A and B are shown apart, each in its own frame.
Chain A
């Protein structure tokens, strides 16, 4: 059962959609040490119900899940289906050349290769969280809040 922390007090809430237990555990530990709150989900099918409940800052979506893959979700318009403007990041073992192209073709917001350097991965996730919070505040016209949010995530 997912219990939300105060999102503002964490480095960000990451929804990790993957089904590889070893990778999930390692990645969860890494991100939690860095102050992120990590929620794991193993299926794309129930994602439309999970996303509003979890209210993540960023979604890391594995491309090759059983039943319905992450790429199939994106091909059908993931942001619309999930009713969210949260960054959706491709999370895959494919090459960065392939992922760069897939990011654009599938309408995702970025990619994170599973083979990425861990420092690099943390920095990228921190940046996606910050962008999401800042853009969200800007769209609501909360300029001061956006500045405070950016400062809080950066430090």
Chain B
């Protein structure tokens, strides 16, 4: 992981994102992307430490994005999905999830933990 962890935030909102505010305030460098193509394109060639799919992205789109990413890129960075249907999305996308109501208290900790676990797994 780089000293300034770089996260991609997949969002459908053109306006302000509370998720981006929280992550930037926690010291993450956040790049917002509005399509799966841009997300996969950046993951393929840029230095990305993790991916967050924001709560405004419909669950089915989020699941498709997670699957596409893992099918396209071997060793893709870890992903966390914020969704109102956490259990269904967790089973379908096989990624960590958070309910939007949990983000205020748990978003940054969840990301920190996810990146640390990913780094640890990479060194084992």
**Which A positions have Cβ atoms within 8 angstroms of B?**
96-97, 99-101, 103-105, 107, 109-111, 119-120, 123-124, 127, 130-131, 134-135, 138, 143, 146-147, 149-151, 154
Indicate if the CB atoms of B24 and A131 lie closer than 8 Å: no
User: How many residue-residue contacts, CB under 8 A, span A and B?
Assistant: 71
A128 → chain B closest CB, angstroms: 8
Contact in complex: B4, A111 (CB < 8 Å): no
Check if B3 sits within 8 Å of A100, measured CB to CB.
Answer: no
Do the beta carbons of B3 and A135 come within 8 Å of each other?
no
From A110, A119, A146, A150, contact of B30 by CB (8 A): A110
User: Which residues of chain A are near B37, meaning CB under 8 Å?
Assistant: 138
Which residues of chain A are within 8 angstroms of B38 by Cβ–Cβ distance? 135, 138
CB–CB B25/A127 < 8 A: no
| Known A104-B16, A120-B3: A143·B41 in contact at CB below 8 Å | yes
Check B41 against A100 for contact (C-beta < 8 Å). no
Residue among A104, A124, A151 making CB contact with B21, cutoff 8 Å: A104
Interface residues of B, count at CB 8 A: 26
**B15-46 residues at the A interface, CB under 8 angstroms:** 15-18, 20-22, 24-25, 27, 29-32, 37-38, 41-42, 44-46
* The 7 nearest A-B residue pairs measured at CB: A104-B16, A100-B25, A100-B24, A150-B45, A138-B41, A147-B45, A123-B4
Please, which residues of chain A bring their CB within 8 A of the CB of B18?
104
Is B24 in contact with A103, judged by CB distance below 8 angstroms?
Answer: yes
**Is there an interface contact between A131 and B20, defined as CB atoms closer than 8 Å?**
no
By a CB distance below 8 angstroms, the chain A residues around B6 are 127
A96 and B44 form a contact (CB under 8 A):
no
Question: Which chain B positions have C-beta within 8 A of A123?
Answer: 2-4
**Contact between chains at B25 and A96 (CB < 8 Å):** yes
- B95 near A: Cβ within 8 Å? no
Q: Does B29 contact A146, Cβ atoms closer than 8 Å?
A: no
Report Cα–Cα, A135/B32, bound state, in Å.
11
| Contact partners of A103 in chain B: CB under 8 A | 20-21, 24
Does B109 interact with chain A (Cβ within 8 Å)? no
- Contacting pair A100 B21 (CB below 8 A): yes
Report the separation of the CA atoms of residues A19 and B31 in the bound assembly, to the nearest whole angstrom: 27
Closest to A153 in B: B46
Does B47 touch A at the CB level, under 8 Å?
A: yes
- Does B45 contact A111, Cβ atoms closer than 8 Å? no
C-alpha gap A110/B27 in the complex (Å):
11
Can you show 22 pairs from A to B with CB atoms below 8 A apart?
A96-B24, A96-B27, A100-B25, A103-B24, A104-B18, A104-B20, A104-B21, A109-B31, A109-B32, A110-B24, A123-B3, A127-B4, A127-B29, A127-B46, A127-B47, A134-B41, A135-B42, A138-B38, A138-B42, A143-B41, A147-B44, A150-B47
